[in-house]
Structure 1
Amino acid sequence: MNDIPTKRKVVEAASALFYQKGFHGTSVRDIAEKASVNVSSISYYFKGKQGLLEFAVSNYYEEYLSIIETTLEESIELDALESLKNLIYKIIQYKHMNLQLSCFIHRELSMDSVFVREMAVTYLAKENYIIGNAFSALFKNKTEDKSKPDRQYLLMQLKGMLVTPYILHNEWRSQIVGEYSHSLFIKRYVQTICNWLDYIAR
């Protein structure tokens, strides 16, 4: 049995079920049936459902953080605004490509749990640091304009926009049919955030 395709199949099945039924509402047998594998395979590869969750989330965030770090490195020659716009596109694109797992993770992050605290220490702190630095660079050579909202609140708004489609996915999901529609949603949603950035960076 080839390990990588089997593990991927199990993770994809688990992501879909966690998204639909929640972690506690999903059994190992449910995952095995959806992935067309033996229950024993899940124990072998992941040491059970909790191990599978940790593997899926760790994989998700490690790939995500790698992509956003690479995006910033590749944008080094751009000004701060264009660099941040590139970063936002990559973030939304990645979350959308992993839609069900993104929705499940963001739903879990809205609650206080051991899972959330572990994610905060391991991954979210790094994400916040990267996004915070990219956002702060917009104002590097500008004096604080007292007529504009506090920059910390603006950063909070930006972070909110990056997670909103994956917390309120029922608001837009019924309008999306097929791969092209998803691509269009990414393009339009990112453009909306970029228009907001153009306004606050003036």
Structure 2
Amino acid sequence: MKINQTKQKVVEAASSLFFQKGFHGTSVRDIAEYASVNVSLISYYFNSKQGLLEYAVTNYYEMYLTIVNEEITNNEHIHPIEKLKKVIYAIIQYKTDYFQLTSFINRELSLDSTFVREMTVTYLAKENHVLSELFFPILSKENKKQRFYLYMQLKGMLMSPYMLKNEWNNQMVDQQSFRHFIKNYVKTIDQWIDFIADKDK
């Protein structure tokens, strides 16, 4: 499918500004100037700032779930623990590649933004279903009683880096630092999974 480069440029500009200034602190004119496009072009593609946000969030989650499902399909026949690890790597890679939009969405959800929550509720339900189906079967017998608490820990690890805006400003300065973060952060999650998992399955 051919990507509309101008449309994508507007989405990237909006993601950056929403991350820095918030949705309400960003105007359509700000986005147009940042993307070096005419204001009327944003109206043409998205109708409004709200329409632009809806497009950006929907597209973000559609791509996210596609990548997760492809990773599951491609690793259908490997050990469940290793399959979960590969999916987690893909998740952290994707969220980090789009860290500004990821951070903005997570921040809005933490503030219980009605508009963002309404857009994401179906996608979050799908994500929960996929992750729980991968996660719960790998738990050791001792840990099965605590499975919901452990699942909350997993979800927290997948979200927390993108809730800490100042940490990104200090540490994520170039592509090398992004790659370094992905590698080492996923390694930490993998070690946690090994600790709670039933290795004999």
Which TM-score band (shorter chain)? over 0.9
Question: Which whole-Å deviations, capped at 9, do the CAs of 1:115-136 have from their partners, x for residues lacking one?
Answer: 2431343210001110111101
Work out the CA distance in 2 between the residues paired with 1:173 and 1:27.
23
* Corresponding residue for residue 29 of structure 1: 29
Q: 2:190 aligns with which of 167, 170, 194?
A: 194
* Corresponding residue for residue 158 of structure 1: 154
* Corresponding residue for residue 9 of structure 1: 9
Work out the CA distance in 2 between the residues paired with 1:25 and 1:150.
42
Work out the CA distance in 1 between the residues paired with 2:90 and 2:51.
28
Q: 1:12 to 1:44 in 2, by over 3 A?
A: same
Question: Which whole-Å deviations, capped at 9, do the CAs of 1:172-202 have from their partners, x for residues lacking one?
Answer: 5413331111101100000000000000014
Question: Is residue 80–residue 138 contact of structure 2 (8 Å, CA) maintained in 1?
Answer: yes
Q: Give the secondary structure class of the aligned counterpart of 2:4.
A: helix
Q: Which amino acid aligns with 1:188?
A: N
Question: Is residue 7–residue 45 contact of structure 2 (8 Å, CA) maintained in 1?
Answer: yes
Work out the CA distance in 2 between the residues paired with 1:189 and 1:113.
28
* Corresponding residue for residue 89 of structure 2: 89
Question: Is residue 54–residue 119 contact of structure 2 (8 Å, CA) maintained in 1?
Answer: no
Gaps of 5+ in 1: none
Are 1:125 and 2:115 matched, yes or no? no
Q: 1:55 to 1:145 in 2, by over 3 A?
A: same
Q: Which amino acid aligns with 2:69?
A: E
What is the Cα deviation at residue 149 of structure 1?
6.4
Question: Which whole-Å deviations, capped at 9, do the CAs of 1:90-116 have from their partners, x for residues lacking one?
Answer: 000000000110110110110223224
Question: Which whole-Å deviations, capped at 9, do the CAs of 1:17-73 have from their partners, x for residues lacking one?
Answer: 000000000000000000111111010100010000000000000000000000001
Equivalent residue pairs, number: 197
Work out the CA distance in 1 between the residues paired with 2:84 and 2:13.
33
* Corresponding residue for residue 175 of structure 2: 179
Q: 1:45 to 1:199 in 2, by over 3 A?
A: same
Work out the CA distance in 1 between the residues paired with 2:127 and 2:110.
16
Of residues 54-63 and 172-181 in structure 1, the stretch that sits farther from structure 2 once superposed is 172-181
CA RMSD of aligned residues (A): 1.8
Q: Give the secondary structure class of the aligned counterpart of 2:78.
A: coil
Q: 1:145 aligns with which of 142, 146, 156?
A: 142
Work out the CA distance in 1 between the residues paired with 2:69 and 2:109.
22
* Corresponding residue for residue 43 of structure 1: 43
Work out the CA distance in 1 between the residues paired with 2:137 and 2:18.
37
Are 1:54 and 2:54 matched, yes or no? yes
TM-score (norm 2): 0.92
Q: Which amino acid aligns with 1:61?
A: Y
Q: Give the secondary structure class of the aligned counterpart of 1:150.
A: helix
TM-score (norm 1): 0.92
Work out the CA distance in 2 between the residues paired with 1:122 and 1:10.
25
* Corresponding residue for residue 103 of structure 2: 103
